[in-house]
């Protein structure tokens, strides 16, 4: 693969589409310098806009639903306008990993607080992120770990902590679940999303989880789980699948696992090594983008972030409603998103984006003035749209129609 193609691949996999300006800058810098810049942005990224306020209690259902909707608009805008696309990609990655739903956690403020925690801790050590998550009010409520008495500990949180958030199935026993569940007792979520300890409801005896014995605390145990070899193997694979989306040779897998263990699960270091791996380029245009990623990509390419409340409801129909995953396992994404109904939803998303453009928008004017609309659209998309995909008579179409055809093309479904 040529250097220029590697750079295009890198930009598509670490963001939401590629604008012509981003592409030009990266080609001038070269691959390794672009990786360094992308990684530096992870360390310096700050939110430009805070999530919506949640001034009313959740019992006021219409207002709470409206706040959730505005929260989705806020996050879509943030992803579209971000100066560090990979930061938002990783926030989305952790939202899927620690899938928590507002359907049960009917408190937008707690959900937005969790979302911000993914940005604060989701690029550092996984020991810190997992340690924060076991004290996250939204996750505790979602998995029934609040008001959890020592006499009859609920095992939901402990089970998902082992199966979904760290080691993975087959790497622990039922006894480990029961013992870990004892450490989740004695927690209560109080007004404002603050975690309060209830010493009377907390299990006070010794436990044994995965060979660790003694008077253990949940956060300390979570940090041990974060650097367990099984966690290293699983999380490295998940990050690889999300970024590289191709085969992971066993020697490379072992190298990345060792790096994870030595760095206490340093996410930024692991991501950097994935991007610099010679195997990173082996599955170009084979990662299926999710509905949210597709919508943000279309919006970023056109420099628009005018999401409406009606769009929030349509995301549910499209199969990826932010803050509302269907279960603790998250959404079925990837190739599961390629089905007949997806053709309609993607076309509708593209239509919503294009129909809101003013008549003097640069893309419409560019199409009108360009002698070769196909080449212009390829340029506009940072090379993602290939000229061979578009109709040969594209010049016969009105600019909005041509732009809609381009955004709805199969090239935009993958990265």
DSSP notation for 128-176: HHHHHHTT-HHHHHHTT-SS--SSS---HHHHHHHHTSSS-TTSS-HHH
pLDDT reported for residue 188: 75
pLDDT in tens, 76-94: 999 999 999 999 999 999 9
Question: In the 3-class helix/strand/coil scheme, how is 239-304 assigned residue by residue?
Answer: HHHHHCCCCCCHHHHHHHHHHHHHCCCEHHHHHHHHHHCHHHHCCCCCCECCHHHHHHHHHHHCCC
CA distance 253 to 169: 19
Residue range 176-203, pLDDT digits in tens: 999 999 999 887 777 666 776 776 778 8
Residues 6+ apart with CB under 8 A from 87: 41, 42, 45, 119, 123
Mean pLDDT of 341-368: 95
* Spatial CA neighbour of 97 closest among 328, 265, 334, 333: 328
pLDDT of residue 191: 66
Look at residue 288 and tell me whether its pLDDT is greater than 80: yes
Q: What does the block give as tokens for 110?
A: 């707690």
List, for residues 18-29, the tens digit of each pLDDT value: 999 999 999 999
How many whole angstroms separate alpha carbon 232 and alpha carbon 167?
Answer: 8
Domain residue limits, the chain: 3-44+228-281, 141-218, 291-413
- pLDDT at residue 56 tops 70: no
């Amino acid at each position: 693969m040529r250097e220029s193609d590697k750079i295009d691949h890198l930009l598509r996999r670490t963001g939401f589409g590629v604008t012509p300006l981003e592409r030009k800058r990266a080609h001038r810098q070269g691959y390794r310098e672009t990786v360094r810049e992308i990684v530096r942005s992870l360390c310096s990224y700050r939110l430009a806009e805070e999530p919506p306020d949640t001034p009313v209690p959740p019992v006021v259902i219409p207002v709470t639903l409206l706040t959730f909707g505005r929260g989705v608009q806020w996050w879509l805008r943030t992803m579209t306008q971000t100066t560090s696309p990979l930061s938002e990609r990783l926030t989305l990655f952790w939202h899927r990993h620690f899938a928590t739903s507002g359907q049960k956690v009917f408190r937008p403020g707690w959900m937005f607080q969790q979302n911000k925690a993914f940005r604060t801790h989701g690029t550092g050590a996984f020991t810190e992120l997992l340690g924060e998550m076991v004290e996250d009010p939204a996750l505790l409520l979602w998995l029934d770990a609040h008001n959890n008495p020592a006499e009859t500990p609920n095992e939901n949180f402990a089970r998902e902590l082992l199966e979904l958030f760290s080691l993975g199935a087959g790497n622990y026993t039922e006894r480990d679940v029961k013992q870990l569940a004892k450490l989740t007792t004695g927690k209560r979520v109080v007004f404002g999303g603050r975690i309060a300890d209830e010493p009377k409801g907390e299990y006070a005896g010794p436990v044994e989880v995965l060979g660790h014995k003694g008077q253990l605390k949940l956060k300390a145990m979570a940090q041990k789980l974060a650097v367990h070899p099984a966690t290293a193997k699983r999380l490295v694979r998940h990050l690889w699948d999300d970024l590289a989306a191709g085969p992971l040779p066993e020697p490379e897998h072992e190298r990345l696992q060792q790096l994870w263990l030595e760095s206490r699960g340093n996410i930024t270091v692991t991501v950097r090594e994935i991007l610099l791996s010679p195997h990173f380029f082996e599955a170009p245009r084979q990662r299926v983008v999710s509905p949210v990623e597709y919508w943000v990509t279309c919006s970023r390419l056109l420099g628009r972030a005018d999401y409406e409340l009606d769009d929030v409801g349509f995301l549910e129909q499209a199969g990826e409603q932010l803050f509302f995953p269907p279960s603790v396992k998250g959404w079925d994404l990837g190739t599961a998103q390629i089905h007949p109904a997806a053709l309609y939803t993607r076309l509708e998303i593209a239509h919503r984006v294009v129909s809101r453009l003013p008549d003097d928008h640069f893309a419409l004017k560019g199409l009108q003035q360009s002698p070769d609309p196909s080449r212009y659209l390829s340029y506009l998309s940072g090379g993602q749209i290939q000229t061979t995909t578009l109709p040969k008579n594209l010049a016969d179409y009105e600019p909005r129609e041509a732009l809609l055809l381009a955004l709805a093309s199969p090239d935009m479904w993958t990265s």
